Structure 1
Amino acid sequence: MGIGYWVLGIGYWVLGIGLAELLYDFKPSKAKNYKLGIDPPKNNSTD
Structure 2
Amino acid sequence: MTVDLHPEPEPNDEDILDAAIQTLLNGGEVYTVEPEQMPESTQAAAIFRY
Specify the structure having the higher radius of gyration (Cα).
1
TM-score by length of 1: 0.32
Is the helix fraction higher in 1 or 2?
1
